[in-house]
Amino acid sequence: MSGNSLLIPCFVAVPLAGAFLNSLVGRRVRALPEFLGALAAFILVGLSLMALQSVRADSVWVYQVGGWKLPLGISLVLDGLTAFMLVTVNAVAFAIVVYARDYMERYTSKDLFYTLLLLMLAGMNGVLIAGDLFNLFVFLEIAAVASYALVAFGTERHELEAAFKYGVMGSVASLFILLGIALLYGMTSTLNLADMSQSLAGHSEADLLLMVSALFLMGFGLKTALVPFHAWLPDAHPSAPAPISAMLSGVLIKCLGIYALSRIFFNVIGMSPRVLTLLMYWGALSMMAGVILAMGQRDLKRLLAYSTISQVGYVVLGLGLGTPLGFLGVVLHLFNHSIAKALLFLVSGALEYATGTRDLHNMGGLRSRMPVTHTASFVAAMSIAGMPPFGGFWSKLLIIMAAVEAGHLGFAVWAVIVSVLTLALFAGVMKNIFWGEPGLRWQGVREVPGCMQASMLALALFSLLSGTLLVPGIREKFLLQASAALAQGTNYAHMIMSQI
Amino acid sequence: MIYFLCLVLLCVGIYGVLRKRNIIRMILGLIIAEHAINLLFVLIGYRLNGRAPILSPDGPILQMVDPLPQALVLTAIVIGLATTALLVALAMRLHGKYGTYDVARIRELKG
């Protein structure tokens, strides 16, 4: 076991330690919860950058818990996709922890907030590094339970209702996933992802495998909020405090949904053309339904939540294409959307902080009053809408190019139409909130405190520059490794087995 | 036969979640469905006339029960406990705010 693989368990240990200390002493010492949260997130960003440095496209790092050899013991795995997701998740989490320092002044029991936030982070990092199916499930549940509690954090009528709905839907999703795991275990008598993949390769029980695939698609589809299963998301995400909305929409559904789905289907079960086609149509449906439902919203955060459904549709469409170019687009779009959507939710929090409302029709002309928020919001909105210099343009372009290249011209045109609708949607948002004549009501509105500004500006900078990730030289390090991990398919098992 | 009963139990639970209007009954439905899956998981590892896989002096063990699903189900039960406790706490707070357990009357959010 080399030094680098000792790095892997730290991704779970650090946030867990932070959460533990916070719940133990956070109440007694003032400003300690903020400090511990920021420290843990900062360490995690450093660790994930180190992981990104050390990982290479043609190998993986495997950590065997307690030194038990691989097919028997629990393993934690770090490959290109994992490292990429870890960087994204932890960077967004750090920005959010900094932002929450000022924003959470309005709530009581901040120590509990940071404890739950760190627990959720531990769960998400755990999902990313888990090397066997049951640990993936356990970490997924840790993140999910923490997020149910965080949605209810305000404990007002709407928060509680949304959290209950989210909790029931999330539990049903977990049931399906657990049933799928039980059936897969019955087929392969192993839980390790690599071992399972090799054992499935020799199997020919197509019917049972189809059943398992359907269960996983339902379970993870519910967690990702793809369209027939989306009803909980526009309630749950807006009801949480703004930093948590940013975390849920920005990274949680991607870790629990997209990452777990693609890991299991591409690397373990092996993609079949039927499932790929299903994913394409599913993604296309989510894209259109999300953006059309978003059009009718007056509440800014609900609008953003619907737009999340639409953008995740792009990701699923890209996954369904199943070509290397499509995977590159998927990976870049995951990154762009995480940053930009988190930023937009932070902006909505800043607006609520300054004006006390989230109603689009009530605001107007805030540009001169809140210049920093305006800049950040402009960058994020244009990135999501896919305007050329901003990050979102490049990832959508890649997905559309991949669709054309794979011969699915209809899907490419569909994606362009949705992109135009998204542009119209966000132009409307910007006009309603920031542009136009400043109303008399907002004369006294002041810009939000420094920490909130700093974290919004940092995310805006990332969003602006993420197009440069495609420049040769940087591309190999960050994006290609991640998309190669998806493209290698069931070869994943060989790479892990050869590490021992 | 017992596998079939698991399926029936799962359907009862899912029916409870989907069709009942009382929050507490929805939670109960969730618990039933969860235990149906736990039962199925244990059954997968069970063998008729099997015994625990513990090394013993009286000869090798021929029929043994797979212990792994049992360990996993223990974990799943604990997770289920945490989720249920959280949902029940939410239900109590909901009752405090709305004064009812009826989901038809707790719908200010449109979905």
pLDDT in tens, A252-276: 999 899 999 999 998 888 878 888 9
Using CA coordinates, name the residue in chain A closest to B96. A157
Mutation test of the interface with chain B: which of A145, A161, A227, A301, choosing the one with the most B Cβ atoms within 10 A? Answer: A161
Average pLDDT of span A73-98: 91
% of chain A with per-residue pLDDT over 70: 98
- Judged against a pLDDT cut of 80, whether residue A238 lies above it is answered with yes
Residue B56 falls inside a structural domain: no
Q: Choose among A145, A155, A182: nearest Cβ to B93.
A: A155
Residue A237 contacts B where some CB pair is shorter than 8 Å: no
Using an 8 Å CB-CB cutoff, list chain B residues near A146.
Answer: none
* CB-CB under 8 Å, B41 with A167: no
- DSSP alpha helix (H) spans, B20-111: 23-44, 68-98
A117: confidence class by pLDDT, cuts 50, 70, 90: very high
Average pLDDT of span A336-351: 93
Residue B53 falls inside a structural domain: no
Q: How far apart are CA A249 and CA A342, in angstroms?
A: 7
- Judged against a pLDDT cut of 70, whether residue A392 lies above it is answered with yes
Residue B35 falls inside a structural domain: yes
Q: Choose among B17, B106, B107: nearest Cβ to A172.
A: B17
Average pLDDT of span A279-303: 92
Residue B73 falls inside a structural domain: yes
Q: Choose among A163, A168, A235: nearest Cβ to B26.
A: A168
**pLDDT for A1:** 45
B56: confidence class by pLDDT, cuts 50, 70, 90: confident
Average pLDDT, chain A: 88
SS3 content of chain B, % helix, strand, coil (to 5): 65, 5, 30
Q: Choose among B30, B68, B98: nearest Cβ to A168.
A: B30
Q: Which of A156-170, A218-232, A334-348, B54-68 has the lowest mean pLDDT?
A: B54-68
Q: How many structural domains does chain B have?
A: 1
Residues in chain B: 111
Q: What is the DSSP string of A144-204?
A: HHHHHHHHGGG-SHHHHHHHHHHHHHHHHHHHHHHHHHHHHHHHHS--BHHHHHHHHHT--
Q: How far apart are CA A193 and CA A75, in angstroms?
A: 9
Average pLDDT of span A297-320: 92
Tokens of A163: 């959290």
Place of tokens 């960003």: A45
- Judged against a pLDDT cut of 90, whether residue A414 lies above it is answered with yes
Q: How far apart are CA A404 and CA A450, in angstroms?
A: 45
User: Can you say whether residue B69 is alpha, beta or left, with left for phi > 0 and alpha for psi between -120 and 50 degrees?
Assistant: alpha
**pLDDT for A443:** 74
Which one has a higher pLDDT value, B78 or A359?
A: B78
**pLDDT for A446:** 80
R_g of chain A, CA atoms, integer Å = 21
Using an 8 Å CB-CB cutoff, list chain B residues near A141.
Answer: 79, 82-83
Q: How far apart are CA A313 and CA A257, in angstroms?
A: 12
Helix (H) or strand (E) holding A63: strand A61-64
* CB-CB under 8 Å, A172 with B30: yes
User: Can you say whether residue B48 is alpha, beta or left, with left for phi > 0 and alpha for psi between -120 and 50 degrees?
Assistant: beta
Which residue, among B54, B45, B74, B51, has the nearest Cα to B63 in the 3D structure?
Answer: B51
Measure in Å the smallest separation between the Cα of A140 and chain B Cα atoms.
Answer: 11
Q: Are B33 and A179 in contact (CB under 8 A)?
A: no
Using an 8 Å CB-CB cutoff, list chain B residues near A165.
Answer: 109, 111
B89: confidence class by pLDDT, cuts 50, 70, 90: very high
CATH number, residue B72: 1.10.287.3510
Average pLDDT of span A176-201: 89
**pLDDT for A389:** 81
* CB-CB under 8 Å, B94 with A134: no
Residue-wise pLDDT tens digits, A139-154: 999 999 999 999 999 8
What is the number of alpha carbons within 13 Å of residue B84 lying toward its C-beta?
19
Residue A387 contacts B where some CB pair is shorter than 8 Å: no
Q: How far apart are CA A191 and CA A47, in angstroms?
A: 27
In angstroms, the Cα distances linking A228 to A8, A264, A422 are 36, 21, 20
Establish, for the pair of chains A and B, how many residue pairs have beta carbons separated by less than 8 Å. Answer: 91
- Judged against a pLDDT cut of 80, whether residue A203 lies above it is answered with no
* CB-CB under 8 Å, A161 with B108: yes
Average pLDDT of span A264-290: 90
**pLDDT for A495:** 81
Residue B40 falls inside a structural domain: yes
Q: Are A420 and A457 in contact (CB under 8 A)?
A: no
Measure in Å the smallest separation between the Cα of A230 and chain B Cα atoms.
Answer: 9
Please tell me whether residue A285 adopts helix, strand or coil conformation.
helix
Q: How far apart are CA A342 and CA A88, in angstroms?
A: 11
How large is the angle between the packed helices A110-129 and A133-151, nearest 10 degrees?
A: 160
* Distant-in-sequence, close-in-space partners of B103: CB < 8 Å, separation ≥ 6: B21, B22, B23, B26
* Residue A439, phi then psi, degrees to nearest 5: -75, 160
* CB-CB under 8 Å, A239 with B87: no
Q: Choose among A156, A161, A175: nearest Cβ to B33.
A: A175
Residue span of the structural domain in which A59 resides:
3-497
Average pLDDT of span A86-98: 94
Q: How far apart are CA A318 and CA A396, in angstroms?
A: 9
Average pLDDT of span A417-438: 88
* Distant-in-sequence, close-in-space partners of B81: CB < 8 Å, separation ≥ 6: none
**pLDDT for A138:** 94
* CB-CB under 8 Å, B108 with A158: yes
Which one has a higher pLDDT value, A65 or B96?
A: B96
Which one has a higher pLDDT value, A145 or A104?
A: A145
Q: How far apart are CA B78 and CA B81, in angstroms?
A: 5
Measure in Å the smallest separation between the Cα of A168 and chain B Cα atoms.
Answer: 8
Which residue, among A106, A113, A117, A57, has the nearest Cα to A84 in the 3D structure?
Answer: A57
Q: How many structural domains does chain A have?
A: 1
**pLDDT for A2:** 55
Measure in Å the smallest separation between the Cα of A272 and chain B Cα atoms.
Answer: 26
| Long-range CB contact pairs, B50-56, < 8 A, 24+ | none
Residues of B with CB under 8 A from a CB of A: 10, 14, 17, 23, 26, 30, 33-34, 37, 40-41, 44, 66, 68-69, 72, 75-76, 79, 82-83, 86-87, 90-91, 93-94, 97-98, 106-111
Please tell me whether residue A64 adopts helix, strand or coil conformation.
strand
Which one has a higher pLDDT value, A270 or A384?
A: A384
Q: Choose among B37, B86, B110: nearest Cβ to A178.
A: B37
SS3 content of chain A, % helix, strand, coil (to 5): 80, 5, 20
Q: Count CB atoms within 10 A of the CB of residue A449.
A: 15
Using an 8 Å CB-CB cutoff, list chain B residues near A148.
Answer: 83, 86-87, 90
Q: Report the first-to-last Cα separation within chain A, whole angstroms.
A: 9
Mutation test of the interface with chain B: which of A74, A120, A178, choosing the one with the most B Cβ atoms within 10 A? Answer: A178
* CB-CB under 8 Å, A178 with B76: yes
Please tell me whether residue A263 adopts helix, strand or coil conformation.
helix
Using CA coordinates, name the residue in chain B closest to A232. B111
Using CA coordinates, name the residue in chain B closest to A302. B111
Q: Residue A91 carries which DSSP code?
A: H
In angstroms, the Cα distances linking A349 to A142, A236, A247, A293, B54 are 26, 15, 13, 22, 58
Using an 8 Å CB-CB cutoff, list chain B residues near A119.
Answer: none
**pLDDT for A482:** 84
Using CA coordinates, name the residue in chain B closest to A73. B68
Using an 8 Å CB-CB cutoff, list chain A residues near B12.
Answer: none
Using CA coordinates, name the residue in chain B closest to A145. B83
Kindly provide the ipTM of the predicted complex, given to two decimals.
0.93
Average pLDDT of span A157-173: 92
Q: Which of A41-45, A309-313, A426-430, B55-59 has the lowest mean pLDDT?
A: B55-59
**pLDDT for A3:** 59
Q: Residue A72 carries which DSSP code?
A: T
Q: Are A51 and A86 in contact (CB under 8 A)?
A: yes
* CB-CB under 8 Å, B79 with A168: no
- DSSP alpha helix (H) spans, A78-109: 80-103
How large is the angle between the packed helices A300-321 and A409-433, nearest 10 degrees?
A: 160
Residue B18 falls inside a structural domain: yes
Residue A172 contacts B where some CB pair is shorter than 8 Å: yes
In angstroms, the Cα distances linking B5 to A132, A175, B12, B104 are 29, 17, 10, 31
Residue-wise pLDDT tens digits, B2-20: 888 889 999 999 999 988 8
Average pLDDT of span A159-185: 93
Q: Are A114 and A91 in contact (CB under 8 A)?
A: no
**pLDDT for A206:** 80
Query: Nearest-5° angle of CA A228, CA A317, CA A245?
Result: 60
